[in-house]
Amino acid sequence: MTPRTLRQRLSFFVLLPVAVLLLGMGAAGFIYARAKLLDQWGEAAMLRLQRAAHEVDMRLNMPKIWLDLYQRTSEKPYAGWIQNDIIEQLKAVEGVSRVTLNRLQHPVPSADPIPNYADPGSQLFQDSSHGGMHGAGRQAITIAVSPSCQITCDAGLTVSLIADLKNNVQEINGSLEAVMPFDYLIETVKSSGWWQSNEAFLVDLNGRILAATSPEGRRQLGETGDVLELKVFEALKQKTLGIVFGPGFPVAEVSGFYRLQEAPWTLVMMAPAKEILSPMISFRNYYLIVGLASILTILMLIRWVTGKTVVAIKDVSIAAGKLANGDFGQVLSVNSRDEVGELTSSFNAMAHQLEERMRLKESLDLAKEVQQNLLPQQSINFCGLDIAGKSLYCDDTGGDYYDFLQFPELGENRIGVAVGDVADHGISAALLMTTTRALLRSRIIRPGTLSQIVGDVNRLLGVDTALSGNFMTLFVMVIDCKNKCIQWVRAGHDAAEVYDPVADSFRELGGSGMALGVDDAWNYQEYQETGCTGNEIILIGTDGIWETENPMGERFGKERLRRIIRQWSRSSSSDMIDAVLSAITDFRQTSVQADDITLVVVKGG
């Protein structure tokens, strides 16, 4: 399942990996420490076994020295009394219980098997460490273990050290035997602490148990089928010392062995792994308790910190939902100075600014509604004239202006048409446009020529625009339907276009004039055209029409406007305006409307 909420993601991608990492590090540390403890135990066990073996080797070494000396003096002059003295010295060696000199009636060649002078069933071991270094003629000393009683009863177990004696033709003609109690040899071993506290054996090369700590009366190492004993038995055949681990993981038992130098015996020690690892087990328990407590504390701390973050983000999400529904009253509390606190502060600031913008938007909507109501809402018919107009603002409010002026003060069968363009768009332009409309309407109902009317409006408007520098172009004309006459004043605005369908030609209603608000003392000139046929189509627009650009930077231009008027000349004024605006939209394509667009069409009937 994919985590969806932020809390689930934090738990899945933060808390869970941290927990796994901490547990993995703890397990790795525990395994490493356990291996180190086992290695340390192995080194300590080897030292104990080596020390014990050295004690046994030392007790065997002294009799072997005298036996070797006896062999080397057998061919010397006056050997008799020297050898007798050696025998006495041998008997005086500590631990030697009996010394026996055996002579053969019939010498045997040295290549024949060495006669067994020990008890029947004893084990023989030839040790050439003494005498072999003294040249030819030196013979090996044989060690024999005599099983005079059960293995588990060490009281009668003896060890015989036998040195073969040769005549001058290198034939064996006898032997010298020194017998030592087995208990004496392993006395220091059995009194050591590790022998008494662990399971230990003294075994020969064949795995026969010579001494053991257990009282079961076992004779052979591995006879019970114990896996560890069998592994030890195989190992001591190949190596003189080593550590052997029992089966399983973790291991239940560990063994160490060490072979003596002076005898064919190996000391074997076995110990339960739990005793070896008792410090580790204590440490493990302590580590588990402390480690789990630490992990839980860390996880709870992470959860607490992330929980506060999640709660703060959730509060922001809830507040954002309320904000989307228009509830601006909730202010979130800032409880931290981190990124979440900055987010909350930014959200509060955004909510406040959004509330202000909403209020401004409402004000703009109201201003737009008011401004749209100031413009003519529908086309009119006056004395056979079809008059229509439309404005498209690029913002909520704009600076383009058009008006149809029908006042009795203008005279019978006379109507005025005005189109203006403030040199900007937006709220400031809308205010200037509204002011101009009010001034023009209030002045046109008073006596005076059209040029005087525009001049008075310019003078009054200049008072308001003196500091701001704003200005407005204006085209005002009065149509006299009775006399077929047109009067107009051009205050910086583009000339009106007049299309004659009969002649299929365009002409302009031009003239000079300064934009309103630039020079309050400017004297405007009134122009007049008579002899109209009554079938002409008059177009008054703002520069937003022909200056519209497409994505390639190409302008719409007046020529396209004329083609559309020529094509739609038989249609109503409203239809012609819609056709022009539709063509402008298609021409602009994806480009944004950059300026206000206003078009008024007066079509004669």
CA distances from 491 to 419, 424, 431, 511 (A): 10, 16, 19, 9
Q: Choose among 416, 531, 427: nearest CA to 474.
A: 416
Name the packing angle between helices 557-567 and 573-588 (round to 10°): 140
Span 257-275, average pLDDT:
82
- The residue that leads in pLDDT, 538 or 216, is 538
Residue extents of the structural domains in the chain: 28-276, 279-366, 375-603
Confidence of residue 154 (pLDDT cuts 50, 70, 90): very low
264 backbone dihedrals φ, ψ, rounded to 5°? -80, 45
SS (H, E, C) 172-225: EEEEEEEEEEHHHHCHHHHHCHHHHHCEEEEEECCCEEEEECCCCCCCECCCCC
3.40.50.360, 3.60.40.10, 3.40.50.720, 3.20.20.140: which CATH number matches 375-603? 3.60.40.10
- The residue that leads in pLDDT, 48 or 494, is 494
Beta carbons within 10 angstroms of residue 120's beta carbon: 7
Residues in the chain: 605
Q: What is the pLDDT of residue 2?
A: 67
Full-prediction pTM beyond 0.85?
A: no
Q: What is the pLDDT of residue 587?
A: 95
Query: Residue 130 in contact with residue 164, Cβ under 8 Å?
Result: no
Q: How far is CA 300 from the centre of its chain?
A: 20
To which CATH superfamily is domain 28-276 assigned?
PAS domain (3.30.450.20)
The model's pLDDT over 541-596, given as tens digits with 9 standing for 90+, comes to 999 999 999 999 999 999 999 999 999 999 999 999 999 999 999 999 999 998 99
The model's pLDDT over 156-215, given as tens digits with 9 standing for 90+, comes to 577 888 888 877 777 777 888 888 887 787 777 777 765 556 777 888 888 888 877 766
CA distances from 481 to 60, 115, 404, 528, 551 (A): 152, 162, 15, 13, 44
Confidence of residue 120 (pLDDT cuts 50, 70, 90): very low
Q: What is the pLDDT of residue 149?
A: 28
Q: Choose among 602, 601, 7, 18: nearest CA to 299.
A: 18
136 backbone dihedrals φ, ψ, rounded to 5°? -65, 150
**Residues 91, 89: Cα–Cα separation, whole Å:** 5
**Residues 46, 39: Cα–Cα separation, whole Å:** 11
Confidence of residue 147 (pLDDT cuts 50, 70, 90): very low
Computed over its alpha carbons, how large is the radius of gyration of the chain? 62
- Mapped onto helix, strand or coil, the DSSP state of residue 596 is coil
The model's pLDDT over 420-451, given as tens digits with 9 standing for 90+, comes to 999 877 788 888 889 999 999 999 999 999 99
Concatenate the DSSP letters of all residues of 313-340 into one string: HHHHHHHHHHHHTT----------SSHH
Q: What is the pLDDT of residue 125?
A: 45
Beta carbons within 10 angstroms of residue 223's beta carbon: 14
Tell me the range of 41-50, 86-95, 312-321, 554-563 where mean pLDDT is highest: 554-563
> Hey, what are 311's tokens?
């709660």
The model's pLDDT over 473-497, given as tens digits with 9 standing for 90+, comes to 999 999 998 888 999 999 999 999 9
Q: Choose among 152, 147, 179: nearest CA to 163.
A: 179
- Mapped onto helix, strand or coil, the DSSP state of residue 416 is strand
Q: Choose among 498, 523, 522, 520: nearest CA to 510.
A: 498
Question: Rounded to 5, what percent of the chain is helix, strand, coil?
Answer: 45, 25, 30
- The residue that leads in pLDDT, 154 or 450, is 450
